[in-house]
Structure 1
Amino acid sequence: MSDAAHEPAGPARDEALDSFLDKWRARWPEWAVAQAFVPPQQRDIAIAWAALQQELTDAAWGGSDARPGEAKLAWWMEELQGWSRGLRRHPLGITLQKHAAPWTSLGAAIPSLRDSRERPRDRDDAFAALAPFAQAVVQIEAALFDAGAADAAIVQAGLLQARLAHTGEASVPMSVIARMGEGSTRAWAAELLDHWPHGDASRPRRVWNALARQRLRRGDASLPLPPWAALWTTWRGARG
C-alpha cells in the first residue's frame, strides 16, 4: 500500500460556503489570475469578504421589487450583530466571523446601503449615498488585512462600478440620463473613470479596484477581462 493511503485527509470543504464563493467567482473570473498578487494568507479571507459584499449589494440593488432584498438585508443586520458575539448562521461566517472586525458597524451601515437603491441625482449623490456603508467597509478591511485606514471614496467607486455591472441603466444618475438619453450607461462609466479616486488601500481592494477600472475602460462593466489583461492590470494595481 502506498504512503499516500496513510496520509490524513485534507480539511473538508463546506459546500454551502463554496456555493457563495463560486457565485462571486462567476462574476469575477479574473480572480483566478488576480489572487496571485494577494498574500497567500489573505486569499481565503479576501474572497469570502468579497462574496459577503456581493450578497449585501445584490440584496440592496437587485430585482424589480425591493421588498425581498430589504428582508434579506434585515436578516443580515441580525447576522452581523451575532458575529460580534461569536455566533453565526451564514456559511460565509465560517471564514469571516472568527476574525475580530467591527461586524456590528457593518450591520449598522446596511440601512444606508438599502436606501442607495434609489436612482441618484448625479455623481455626487451617487457617492454620498454609499458613504456610510463604504466607511464601514474600510473599517472591516483595516481589521481583516491589517491595513491602514483607506479613503472611503475608493470603496465607493468600486461599489458604483459593481452596481453598474449588475444593474446596468438602473444605476445611472438622472443627470447623465437627462444629458445623454441613449448611451447613458457608457457615459456614466466614462464619468466614473474620469473621477476615480486615488489613495492607499488594502492589497485586495487595490486589486479589485484595478479590475473594476479596467473593465470600465474596455467599455463594459460586466465583461470579464481576458487573462493576459487581468494579469497586467492586477500587477499594476497591487503595486499601488
Structure 2
Amino acid sequence: MDAVADATPLASFEAKWVAAHPEFGLALRFVGESGRRAQSAFACLVYELEHAAFGIREAQPAAIKLQWWAEEFARAAKHEARHPLTQALAEHPGFAAVPLALWYEVIAGALAQRDPEPAADRAALLDAHAVLYRPLGAIEAALFPSVDAAASARVRALARSLRDTATLADALRDGRLPLPLDLLARHRLARGDLARTSAQQVAALREWLRALASEHAEVAASGAHLGVLVAANLHADRWRARKATRAEDPLATLNAAFGQLPFDATWAAWRTARRSSR
C-alpha cells in the first residue's frame, strides 16, 4: 500500500510528515499491514509533539497545543479520543497498558525543550533532549514490545540534535544552543559567533557532526532492536552527518541531505522489517 495513497485522516498526517522526513515514507513501505496503522500513528504523533516542542516559535501557542495533547491523552485513556492519531493508537491492543502518567511525562518533556539551558557537553545536550524522548521510547516499547526503548530514545535525541544543527540560525533565534559549550570553548567561539560563517565555525560544526555520526554508528553496532521507522531514520541521519562533515559548507550540505535518502536507510528498513516478522 502506498504510504500516502489512502484518503483517510491518518494518511493526511502521513503525507504531511513524509514531506519533512522522506525516510518516514520509505520505512512505511516495509511495515507489515497488521502493524502499519499503529506504527504510522505513533510516528506521526511523535512528529506532532516535536513540532509543538521545537517548531512553534511563540511560547503561548506551543503551551496551549501541548496542554491540548495532555487533555487528549486523558480522553483517549477513557476511550474518548478525538484526534485521528490517538483514535488510531487507541485501537492498538497495547495502548491500554500505557500509564497515563507516561503520556504526561512526554508533555512535561516537550515543555522542557522550550527554554533549555546551554549544555556543558555532548552528554548533557543529548540528556536534555532525552527528557522528551525517554518516555516516548517507553511508550513505543509498550505498544511494540520488540523495540528497545533506550535505543529508540537515543536515536530520536540524536535526530533532534542533527535537525537543530541544520537549522542553526532558527535554533539560536528561539533560544536553543545546538552545540555544547565545551565544543565552543575548544574553537574559541562565543554563542553569537555561531550564526556567522568562519573558519572556527566550520571546524566546530565538523567536529560536532563527526561526534553525532559516531553516536549513530554506536547505536547501529549495538544490535539493539529498533522499529522500522526509527531504524531508517538512524541510518539516514548517520549518512547525512558524515556527508556534511566532509563538505566545504557543512550547514548547506546538511540541509540539502535532509531531502535525500541513502541506500543504507532502505537496507536498514528492509532488515528491520524482516527481523520483526521473525
Q: TM-score range by the shorter chain?
A: 0.7 to 0.9
After TM superposition, the structure 1 = structure 2 runs for residues 206-221 of structure 1, keeping only pairs within 5 Å, are 206-219=231-244, 220=254
How many angstroms apart in 2 are the aligned matches of 1:199 and 1:142?
A: 16
Out of 110, 114, 123, the position equivalent to 1:113 is 110
CA contact (8 A) 2:28 2:40 kept: no
Cα offsets for 1:9-60 (capped at 9, x unmatched):
xxx8434x33322121111223343334333322222222111111111111
1:75 Cα deviation after fit: 1.3
Residues 92-101 or 20-29, more deviating:
92-101
- Aligned-CA RMSD value: 2.9
CA contact (8 A) 1:30 1:230 kept: yes
After TM superposition, the structure 1 = structure 2 runs for residues 222-233 of structure 1, keeping only pairs within 5 Å, are 223-226=258-261, 228-233=263-268
CA contact (8 A) 2:130 2:157 kept: no
How many angstroms apart in 1 are the aligned matches of 2:213 and 2:273?
A: 19
Are 2:171 and 1:174 aligned? no
Amino acid at match of 1:223: F
Cα offsets for 1:189-232 (capped at 9, x unmatched):
32222233335233323233223322222322661334645423
Q: Which runs of 5+ in 1 are unaligned?
A: 1-11
Q: What is the aligned partner in structure 1 of residue 210 from structure 2?
A: 190
Q: What is the aligned partner in structure 2 of residue 59 from structure 1?
A: 52
Q: What is the aligned partner in structure 1 of residue 128 from structure 2?
A: 129
Are 2:49 and 1:14 aligned? no
How many angstroms apart in 2 are the aligned matches of 1:153 and 1:212?
A: 15
CA contact (8 A) 2:73 2:103 kept: yes
CA contact (8 A) 1:77 1:108 kept: no
Q: What is the aligned partner in structure 2 of residue 143 from structure 1?
A: 142
SS of alignment partner, residue 195 of structure 1: helix
How many angstroms apart in 2 are the aligned matches of 1:63 and 1:188?
A: 25
Out of 154, 157, 174, the position equivalent to 2:155 is 157
Identify, as 1 or 2, the structure richer in helix: 2
CA contact (8 A) 2:76 2:90 kept: yes
Residues 33-42 or 225-234, more deviating:
225-234
Cα offsets for 1:146-192 (capped at 9, x unmatched):
325x2525413323323532562223333333434423444433222
Q: TM-score, normalised by structure 1?
A: 0.78
1:83 and 1:200, CA in 2 relative to 1: closer, same or farther beyond 3 A? same
Q: Which runs of 5+ in 2 are unaligned?
A: 1-5, 172-177, 190-200, 245-253
Q: TM-score, normalised by structure 2?
A: 0.69
Residues 169-178 or 109-118, more deviating:
169-178
Out of 71, 74, 93, the position equivalent to 1:78 is 71
1:103 Cα deviation after fit: 5.8
How many angstroms apart in 1 are the aligned matches of 2:89 and 2:267?
A: 29
CA contact (8 A) 2:53 2:111 kept: yes
SS of alignment partner, residue 80 of structure 1: helix
1:237 and 1:68, CA in 2 relative to 1: closer, same or farther beyond 3 A? same
How many angstroms apart in 2 are the aligned matches of 1:94 and 1:18?
A: 13
State percent identity of aligned pairs: 30
CA contact (8 A) 2:137 2:150 kept: yes
